[in-house]
Amino acid sequence: MTSLYHDIIFGPVHSRRLGLSLGVNLLPTSSKLCSFDCIYCECGWNAEHTGGRRFNAREDVRTHLAETLRRMVAEGTPPDVITFAGNGEPTLHPQFEEIIDDTIALRNEICPSAKVSVLSNATQLHRDDVRRALLKVDNNILKLDSAFDETVRLMNNPQSATYSVRNVVDMMQLFEGQLTVQTMFLRGECNGRQVDNTTEREVSAWLDSQRPDSHAPLTYIEFFHSSNRVCFMALHKLEEYTRSNGLQVIVVVREEAAKIEPALRPYLSAKLSVAFDDDNKTFTAFGVQYVPFGVLIDAKNRAVWMGNTLQLTPDLLKSF
């Protein structure tokens, strides 16, 4: 059974992920408006809910949200999160960024403990205003159901003929980790066609797509400890290589996040990320005896070089 949300503000509902969630619907209240037409959508097929295509006005959203937040706070049941979802894709709204700004201001004034979340299918990430808005919210939740265009077309029915998973992943990388990827894994049959994104091929490709700059030819795994001054020299060199040679770097540490994060934060980027080896398994698996030590991985996931990071040179990188 499918249904629409007939109000601008709906709920609250209890979400296992987000807590007590107050919904915001920017889309028409009597029809569905979406850049996808997913086979599992709770609002049904786009063609089932045609009609007016008027977006809810920014002023109406602000007024209704303020009234609801004040009432919930007065009743002692403030929401844990304000979630943009509703009858389609919220980022289609032409004033999406302005509405996000309004929402954050209202949250700060009335219910400062609440988070702001957006559930999006990621089709509007090419718009600068949408990316700016999503960087402002607490939970930027973006859909990616498969790494293969053909599977996305089967499951999500993108309404644009130019939709490309590669383009979406490239846009996601611009957030530099400030996002949550949401995926519906399922198997079954729809309109006489088998649908299954749970196979080893599908899941492996999906995981690969989540690696920062997954199409980069070389990845360097750097083993690091903040007590070693030379490690910072190596890290500075690797940071330069991310810019000059396109190298993707993963820094592996076995120190507490609270301790190491301030030291590493200046180096972090879309091409340089940190992994925490809490149980020491990664250090052990690579037989790390000293730091700085690193392993160079090629596009086929083969270790092609390992050793002291200070001995890694641009000419060496170009040889692979």
| Confidence bin at 268 (pLDDT 50/70/90) | confident
The C-alpha atoms of residue 264 and residue 154 are separated, in whole angstroms, by 42
47 and 150 part of one domain: yes
- Residues 224, 289, single domain; the answer is yes
The pLDDT assigned to 52 comes to 66
pLDDT digits (tens, 9 = 90+) for 117-173: 999 999 999 999 999 999 999 999 999 999 999 999 999 999 998 999 999 999 998
Percent of the chain exceeding pLDDT 70 equals: 96
* 181 and 270 both lie in a single domain: no
Sort strands 9-15 and 248-253 into parallel, antiparallel or unpaired: unpaired
Question: Do 293 and 258 have their domain in common?
Answer: yes
Indicate whether 199 and 223 sit together in one domain: no
Confidence at residue 216, expressed as pLDDT on a 0 to 100 scale: 55
Q: Could you tell me if residue 214 is inside a domain?
A: no
- Rounded CA separation 82/62 (Å): 13
Q: What is the C-alpha to C-alpha distance for residues 105 and 91, in angstroms, rounded to an integer?
A: 19
64 vs 281, higher pLDDT: 64
Does residue 100 carry a pLDDT above 60? yes
Q: How would residue 213 be classed by pLDDT, with cut points 50, 70 and 90?
A: low
Question: How many C-beta neighbours within 10 Å does residue 52 have?
Answer: 10
CATH number at residue 203: 3.20.20.70
Domain housing 52: 9-209
Same domain, 274 and 165: no
Mean pLDDT value across residues 32-41? 92
In a domain, 2, yes or no: no
Q: Are residues 306 and 237 in the same domain?
A: yes
Q: Verify that 234 and 282 share a domain, yes or no.
A: yes
Asked whether residue 113 carries a pLDDT value surpassing 70, the answer given is yes
> Which of 48 and 228 is assigned the larger pLDDT?
228
**Residues 109, 229 share a domain:** no
pLDDT score for 80: 94
Residue 108: which pLDDT band, with cuts at 50, 70 and 90?
A: very high
Question: Is a pLDDT exceeding 80 seen at residue 300?
Answer: no
Q: How far is CA 109 from CA 34, 70, 102, 113, 241, in A?
A: 31, 10, 11, 10, 45
How many structural domains are present in the chain?
Answer: 2
C-beta separation of 122 from 115 below 8 A: no
Phi/psi for 143 (5° steps) reads -85, 135
Average of per-residue pLDDT across 254-269 = 84
pLDDT of residue 304: 93
Q: Which of 307, 270, 266 is nearest to 286 (CA)?
A: 307
Residue 45 has pLDDT above 90, yes or no: no
Whether 281 is covered by a domain: the verdict is yes
- Domain final position from 177, 209, 241: 209
What's the mean pLDDT when you consider all of the chain?
90
The predicted structure's pLDDT at residue 44: 83
Q: Are residues 120 and 33 in the same domain?
A: yes
Same domain assignment for residues 238 and 297: yes
How far apart CA 176 and CA 163 sit, in angstroms, is 22
Name the range with the highest mean pLDDT among 28-32, 110-114, 198-202, 285-289: 110-114
CATH number at residue 292: 3.40.30.10
Domain-embedded: residue 267:
yes
Neighbours of 189 (CB within 10 A): 9
The mean per-residue pLDDT over the stretch 74-86 comes to 96
